[in-house]
Protein backbone atom coordinates (compact mmCIF):
# COMPACT_ATOMS: atom_id res chain seq x y z
CA UNK A 1 0.00 0.00 0.00
CA UNK A 2 1.19 3.51 -0.55
CA UNK A 3 2.09 6.33 1.81
CA UNK A 4 2.29 4.05 4.86
CA UNK A 5 -1.49 3.96 5.37
CA UNK A 6 -1.55 0.25 6.08
CA UNK A 7 0.03 -3.07 5.40
CA UNK A 8 -0.89 -5.92 3.10
CA UNK A 9 -0.86 -9.30 4.86
CA UNK A 10 -1.34 -12.95 3.97
CA UNK A 11 -4.06 -15.08 5.57
CA UNK A 12 -1.83 -15.74 8.61
CA UNK A 13 -1.16 -12.04 9.24
CA UNK A 14 2.42 -11.95 7.89
CA UNK A 15 3.30 -8.64 6.22
CA UNK A 16 3.80 -8.87 2.44
CA UNK A 17 6.26 -6.55 0.67
CA UNK A 18 7.77 -6.15 -2.78
CA UNK A 19 10.41 -8.82 -3.44
CA UNK A 20 8.93 -11.43 -1.07
CA UNK A 21 8.35 -15.02 -2.25
CA UNK A 22 4.76 -16.20 -1.85
CA UNK A 23 2.62 -19.15 -2.77
CA UNK A 24 -0.97 -18.80 -3.97
CA UNK A 25 -3.80 -20.89 -5.36
CA UNK A 26 -4.28 -20.57 -9.13
CA UNK A 27 -7.00 -22.14 -11.27
CA UNK A 28 -6.08 -24.19 -14.32
CA UNK A 29 -9.07 -25.48 -16.28
CA UNK A 30 -11.11 -27.37 -13.67
CA UNK A 31 -8.25 -27.77 -11.18
CA UNK A 32 -6.40 -25.66 -8.63
CA UNK A 33 -2.63 -25.58 -8.32
CA UNK A 34 -0.27 -23.97 -5.81
CA UNK A 35 2.09 -21.53 -7.51
CA UNK A 36 5.20 -19.76 -6.18
CA UNK A 37 5.66 -16.13 -7.21
CA UNK A 38 7.62 -12.98 -6.36
CA UNK A 39 5.70 -9.85 -5.36
CA UNK A 40 6.26 -6.96 -7.77
CA UNK A 41 3.76 -4.51 -6.24
CA UNK A 42 1.41 -4.51 -3.24
CA UNK A 43 -1.62 -2.22 -3.32
CA UNK A 44 -5.38 -2.06 -2.78
CA UNK A 45 -8.01 -1.96 -5.54
CA UNK A 46 -11.74 -1.37 -5.46
CA UNK A 47 -13.50 -4.62 -6.41
CA UNK A 48 -17.28 -4.97 -6.20
CA UNK A 49 -17.48 -1.73 -4.20
CA UNK A 50 -14.96 -2.86 -1.57
CA UNK A 51 -11.31 -2.02 -1.16
CA UNK A 52 -9.33 -5.27 -1.44
CA UNK A 53 -5.60 -5.87 -1.00
CA UNK A 54 -4.07 -6.97 -4.32
CA UNK A 55 -0.62 -8.12 -5.41
CA UNK A 56 1.08 -7.86 -8.78
CA UNK A 57 3.14 -11.06 -8.89
CA UNK A 58 5.56 -12.74 -11.26
CA UNK A 59 5.38 -16.57 -11.14
CA UNK A 60 8.71 -18.38 -10.66
CA UNK A 61 7.66 -21.49 -12.61
CA UNK A 62 7.66 -23.67 -9.48
CA UNK A 63 4.20 -25.08 -8.86
CA UNK A 64 2.18 -28.17 -8.05
CA UNK A 65 0.41 -30.25 -10.66
CA UNK A 66 1.52 -32.07 -13.76
CA UNK A 67 0.15 -29.66 -16.40
CA UNK A 68 2.88 -27.22 -17.42
CA UNK A 69 2.12 -23.48 -17.09
CA UNK A 70 1.75 -21.83 -20.50
CA UNK A 71 3.13 -18.41 -19.52
CA UNK A 72 5.05 -16.68 -16.74
CA UNK A 73 3.33 -13.32 -17.28
CA UNK A 74 2.77 -11.03 -14.32
CA UNK A 75 -0.69 -11.33 -12.76
CA UNK A 76 -2.84 -9.48 -10.24
CA UNK A 77 -3.95 -11.76 -7.38
CA UNK A 78 -5.99 -11.17 -4.25
CA UNK A 79 -4.29 -11.80 -0.91
CA UNK A 80 -7.18 -14.02 0.16
CA UNK A 81 -5.32 -17.29 -0.61
CA UNK A 82 -1.70 -16.09 -0.42
CA UNK A 83 0.96 -17.33 2.03
CA UNK A 84 4.43 -15.84 2.61
CA UNK A 85 7.29 -18.30 1.94
CA UNK A 86 10.45 -16.15 2.15
CA UNK A 87 11.21 -12.50 2.89
CA UNK A 88 13.36 -10.64 0.35
CA UNK A 89 13.62 -13.47 -2.17
CA UNK A 90 16.41 -13.20 -4.73
CA UNK A 91 16.58 -16.03 -7.31
pLDDT digits (tens, 9 = 90+) for 33-75: 899 999 999 988 888 898 889 999 999 988 887 777 778 899 9
- End-to-end CA distance of the chain, in Å? 24
DSSP 89: -
Confidence class of residue 3 from pLDDT cuts 50, 70 and 90?
Answer: very low
What kind and span of H or E run contains 83? strand 82-86
Class for the domain spanning 8-86? mainly beta
Q: Would the pLDDT of 2 be above 90?
A: no
Residue pair 60/86 in contact (Cβ under 8 Å)? The answer is: no
pTM above 0.85, yes or no: no
Q: Is 54:76 a contact under the CB 8 Å cutoff?
A: yes
Assess whether pLDDT exceeds 80 at residue 84.
yes
Amino acid sequence: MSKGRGTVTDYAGETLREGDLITYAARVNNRVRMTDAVIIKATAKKVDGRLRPMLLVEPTGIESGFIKRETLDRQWVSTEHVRLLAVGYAP
